[in-house]
Amino acid sequence: MDAVLEDYRSAPISTRDRALFAFIDKMNADSTTIGRADIDTLKAEGWTDEAIYDAITVCALFKFYNAWIDATGVHDMPAPAYEMSGKRLATQGYRPSPSGSPGAASHGSQVPGGVTAGS
């Protein structure tokens, strides 16, 4: 992982993964230069349309989130909070907190129009 973060071009990874990182690098640098040949390169390395779409989506969302955070002044979480969140996600996934806990989901509550929320 450290080698990829240092420089994916020289990291000991497959040519398949290197192609995807090169695509994401190009997308981050100037997404207007992405063309059919870039997609064809990924497909030739075995990436599916769905995987390419997912990579584009994740990259675009993180670019958006980072710009939004920078512009709004939202502060980063401290390292222990990331560790705690990672442990929780690894053991519990994204399921809602137990009822009564901060941030608990409201399952079965009525909303205007008689629709039951959380169903």
Name the more confident of 16 and 5. 16
- The pTM score is 0.64
The Cα-based distances of 109 to 103, 113, 119 in angstroms read: 15, 12, 9
pLDDT at 101: 52
For the stretch 6-41, pLDDT in tens is: 889 999 999 999 999 999 999 999 999 999 999 999
Place of tokens 């994204």: 94
The Cα-based distances of 8 to 2, 13, 109 in angstroms read: 9, 8, 49
Any idea which fold 2-90 has?
AhpD-like (1.20.1290)
